Amino acid sequence: MAQITISAAAAQLLPLLLMLFSVGASAAEDDPRPMIGMPNCVTSCGGVDVPYPFGLGPDPSCYLPGFNLTCDTAAGDAQARLLLDVEGTLQVLSISNSILRAQRNGDVKIDLDADGYGSSTFSTGLRQDGPYMLYRNELFLTGCNVQATVRRGNVAVASCTSLCEHYDHPADSLVGGVVLYCKGSTGCCRADIVTNPDIHDEEAQVYSSSNTSGYDVQLRWLGRGNRSADLKRFPPRVFISERGWFSNVSVYNDMLRTAKLPSKDIMAVPIYLNWVVVGNHSLCKGNHSQCVEPTGGGRYCLCKTGYHGNPYLTDGCKDVNECELAEANGCYGECTNAEGTFTCQCPLGTIGNPAIPGGCVYPTVSLGHHHLSISIILGVASGAGLILLVLFAYVIFDKVKHQRTQKLKRKFFEQNRGQLLQQLVSQRADIAEKMIITLEELEKATNNFDKARELGGGGHGTVYKGILSDLHVVAIKKPKMVVQKEIDEFINEVAILSQINHRNVVKLYGCCLETEVPMLVYEFISNGTLYDHLHIEGPRSLSWDDRLRIAIETAKSLAYLHSMALIPIIHRDIKSSNILLDDTLIAKVADFGASRYIPLDKSDGLVAHFVTLFAEGNLSQILDPQVLNESGNTIEEIATIAVACVKLRGEERPTMRQVELRLEGVQSPDEHVMAVVGEFEANGIDRSSLLTRDERSTEGLTRQYSMEEECILSSRYPR
């Protein structure tokens, strides 16, 4: 017969599975700390909680009569003391239901008269109208041939006698250097203080305080031996402390040897006080509190079983979560907390007694000669069910995620006016097919927009390098924001730019409208921006010839956009960082329309400074020394064109076609003259009108025909 067993954890798969797929389950919030005092009342002093019916301050509603305490802050809040009385005889250490723990510094001071008698009141804090009595304390006496008695009213509640018959000094009675807990005849003695002398029950917890009187401590010399010698040799000391405290304090061994009193800090003696409420006060106000009336009189409140807190306050008793201490409450199975109680049962799949350790076991099933544990069956079934449910959940989750993603894409596509773009490019089937690019395509092209694919970025977005499925290397601009009201203009611009095919204009492949902010896809230009090539560390950057050629190529592209395209396009943001360069330094104008999304309140003082220096003839202060060395006499002409291009009035600025021709004239004066003459003849102007003018220099000739050229071109091309 084979016995097959598996881990008990296997049978937990099914409950765990149900837990994984449950909806809305949440852990119960921990109960807040129960209130301990009345609202708007001080409830602590010196780190000690002051629960109602005790209280502090002048407001009588904060405590019941007789339960007012004093907070001594004379030494500062950090060293505040909670006192039972204004005299400061007893300092309160802690307060609980019917029990108060305090401490008294030093012994009970008693002076003997001529006849060898003396007495003292133990504490003014235990006044006759107070609710307190000594509880579980003891009387401790040191000295030779003296007797101490504690009385409450006319009743003695404790008494003991200390003798020194055969010893010159009490230290002679020490055995092995340690005082045997004082039994008398050793220079010290002790006796339990009876709590309830009427019923002689030293363990009674309460005692009637309707006729409470203070405690008196009496000391008497027994008249044996020489009184003055006894008192001088070992002055008597009387203490009242909690039971057993003296037996654990080694300093009292030293006190017996030296007959000297230890320091004040060491002599802080703790005592227990029992308290009850007397009078016709309304107590136990909470729904979960109960009133106790002890035999000796008075009353006190307790929270019902299963609750904790302050029973003297409304809703002061809160439910105890027994399951947090399940084993302490005798539950070794599954504990479920309930209001005022809890339930304990064996986990699912087990049987037995949950009240004992290991009491819950897994049953077995007999199959022929084999006994299979139920845990095996549950484990196999749960494991298979778990796999199926996980697969099912994954399929459902993936499907829901896909549907949500598609729905969000459609939302953004409509929000970004995708239908409008489809209508605008529908006349060109080849463009329409490629113009609208899906988000999935761009995610594949950029490896989910991997940070390693970033080409650069700024305040308006990030540019990524990607490879489309048709193997085109592209630059994908992912803006950070777009103005919703300008979406229609954006779509129009995309449709127009998609039809531009110019050598010096960056090709726009298309756009993606399936994201919150549309993304643009351009051809990838590998050699960076003109700005990057101009601002380098080193003595030389781009040569003057390359700079002039790039300026001409830029002017050509803008002239084309202004005049040759189907609908004129104004770039509005030409700058060196928006002019890209390919591997052969051919200029490519980029970022069309970006200026509409750039705040117009930003201003660059370089232009005004340039114009001022030009007028003063001080351009050398602003120009690159390399330009001054390489440009020769052409720099003056270039500067003249630049100043004309930044005039405030549009009619005073040259067209881009005029700029193009003038720059070409600076680059190749002779070829430029022939090109202009050909253009004039094409427009009906006699070539001889140019040749009869002063031909002393190419520069002069260029200036002679500039006025005629401007008249012709201004009529054909807008600014």
Do residues 459 and 467 make contact, with C-beta atoms less than 8 angstroms apart? Answer: no
**What is the rounded CA–CA span in Å between residue 466 and residue 172?**
100
**What is the rounded CA–CA span in Å between residue 686 and residue 400?**
77
Strand ranges inside 198-293, DSSP E? 215-221, 237-242, 268-275, 289-292
Structural tokens at position 135: 């509880």
CA dihedral 478→480→486→490, nearest 10 degrees, is -10
Burial of 566 (0-12, 13-18, 19+ CB in 10 A): exposed
**What is the rounded CA–CA span in Å between residue 221 and residue 209?**
32
> Which residue, 171, 99, 184, 200, is CA-closest to 139?
184
Helix (H) or strand (E) holding 94: strand 91-96
Structural tokens at position 406: 């598609």
**What is the rounded CA–CA span in Å between residue 525 and residue 509?**
13
Burial of 234 (0-12, 13-18, 19+ CB in 10 A): buried
Q: 3-state DSSP helix/strand/coil percent for the chain, to nearest 5? A: 35, 25, 45
Reply yes or no on whether 573 is catalytic: yes
Strand-pairing partners, residue 510, are 521
Counting every residue written for the chain, the total comes to: 719
Q: Does residue 46 sit in helix, strand or coil?
A: coil
Q: Which of 573, 583, 604, 686 is catalytic?
A: 573
Strand order in the sheet with 137-142: 188-192, 137-142, 237-242
Do residues 322 and 337 make contact, with C-beta atoms less than 8 angstroms apart? Answer: yes
Burial of 103 (0-12, 13-18, 19+ CB in 10 A): middle
Residue 673 phi, psi (nearest 5):
-60, -45
What are the distances in angstroms from CA 158 to CA 148, 217, 270, 623?
Answer: 8, 9, 18, 110
**What is the rounded CA–CA span in Å between residue 9 and residue 378?**
10
Strand-pairing partners, residue 364, are 373
Helix (H) or strand (E) holding 420: helix 418-425
Strand ranges inside 448-564, DSSP E? 454-458, 461-467, 473-479, 508-512, 519-523
**In b/e form, how buried is each residue of 482-516, taking b as 16+ CB within 10 angstroms?**
beeeebeebbbbbbbbbebebebbbbbbbbbbbbe
Cβ partners under 8 Å of residue 162, min gap 6:
141, 142, 143, 144, 145, 146, 147, 148, 182, 184, 186, 187, 188, 189, 236
The DSSP call for residue 485 is G
Widest CA span of the chain, in angstroms?
158
The DSSP call for residue 577 is G
Cis peptide bond upstream of 197, omega within 30 = no
Ordered DSSP codes for 611-676: HHHHHHT-GGGTS-HHHHHHHTTHHHHHHHHHHHHT-SSGGGSPPHHHHHHHHHHHH-HHHHHHHH
Structural tokens at position 178: 């340690």
Please state, as a whole number, how many other Cβ atoms lie within 10 Å of the Cβ of residue 718: 12
Do residues 531 and 577 make contact, with C-beta atoms less than 8 angstroms apart? Answer: yes
Catalytic annotation, residues: 573
